[in-house]
Amino acid sequence: MIDLIDVSFQYGNGTEALHDINLRINNGEFAFIVGSSGAGKSSILKLLLRETLATSGQVIVNGFDLNRLKPSQVPKFRRSIGVVFQDFRLIPDMTVYENVAFSLRVTDRPVKEIRRRVPEMLELMNLKHKARQHPYELSGGEQQRVALARALVNDPPLIIADEPTGNIDPEFSYEIVELLQRINREHKTTLLMVTHEHEMVKYFGGRTVNIEQGNIVFDDYIVGSKDEESR
């Protein structure tokens, strides 16, 4: 669960990037955070990942109160979130298989578990045939699917996707969002997707949090045009 209570955030130069934000995302929800450039999306993400601390207010993520988190607890907290980035951040000299396995190796999981989980994830993301390839041999959409497999393989309660379709051809962008929705549905993973692509959000619909100039200007469920078409 994510709970932001009366959260404000100012940069060192005095810019108030977030103003008195209140936002709760319950376990199992799928939510879009949408806003134009400069709205405050990256600032919210930095707070949620504890890359920075709120100037005032409370930020609670997966039961961790981030303003009070001891430095020694930070690695445990970070492992409770799977993060997917706009630029994929795969390790270039590792194969697809190794990129996903690495995420389990760093937490010292048994070899048996790695041999079982990695193929499962690759199958789920329809990447089994790419297991021995390197990231540079894949399309943007395929690379993002590897990043999704890597985020999901530890079975985190929360996945945060930061502009996951930003570097993908539009025709494959929708496929990535559909995969995120599937992960949310089938694995009960709470999913937060941050994007500036308003049109995409209108197409899918669902919980939509619109942030502009550091304020939440809309937070409600919208019917996606994809569902309207099929009525």
Q: Least distance to ligand ADP from the beta carbon of 197, Å?
A: 12
Q: Least distance to ligand ADP from the beta carbon of 14, Å?
A: 8
Q: What are the CA-CA distances from residue 170 to residues 73, 84, 107, 111 (Å)?
A: 39, 18, 35, 38
Per-residue binding letters, 89-128, with ligand ADP (x by CB under 6 A): ----------------------------------------
Q: In the window 14-53, what residues touch ligand ADP (CB under 6 A)?
A: 15, 17, 35, 37-43
What is the C-alpha to C-alpha distance for residues 59 and 147, in angstroms, rounded to an integer? 26
Nearer to ligand ADP, 41 or 130 (CB): 41
Determine the size of the site formed for ligand ADP (CB under 6 A). 12
Nearer to ligand ADP, 43 or 190 (CB): 43
Q: Least distance to ligand ADP from the beta carbon of 61, Å?
A: 17
Q: Least distance to ligand ADP from the beta carbon of 15, Å?
A: 4
Q: Is residue 16 within 8 Å of residue 214, measured between CB atoms?
A: yes
Nearer to ligand ADP, 47 or 153 (CB): 47
Which parts of 146-229 are beta strand (E)? 158-162, 190-195, 205-212, 215-223
Nearer to ligand ADP, 45 or 90 (CB): 45
What is the C-alpha to C-alpha distance for residues 211 and 219, in angstroms, rounded to an integer? 9
Pairing of strands 205-212, 30-34: parallel
Instruction: Give the residue among 110, 77, 134 at the shortest CA–CA distance from 142.
Output: 134
Q: Least distance to ligand ADP from the beta carbon of 135, Å?
A: 25
Q: Is residue 101 within 8 Å of residue 114, measured between CB atoms?
A: yes
Q: Least distance to ligand ADP from the beta carbon of 36, Å?
A: 7
Nearer to ligand ADP, 142 or 163 (CB): 163
195 touches ligand ADP (CB under 6 A): no
Q: In the window 50-89, what residues touch ligand ADP (CB under 6 A)?
A: none
Nearer to ligand ADP, 40 or 156 (CB): 40
- List of residues 6+ apart from 221 with CB closer than 8 A: 205, 206, 207, 208
What is the C-alpha to C-alpha distance for residues 134 and 125, in angstroms, rounded to an integer? 16
Instruction: Give the residue among 180, 157, 175 at the shortest CA–CA distance from 84.
Output: 180
Residues forming the site for ligand ADP (CB under 6 A):
11, 13, 15, 17, 35, 37-43
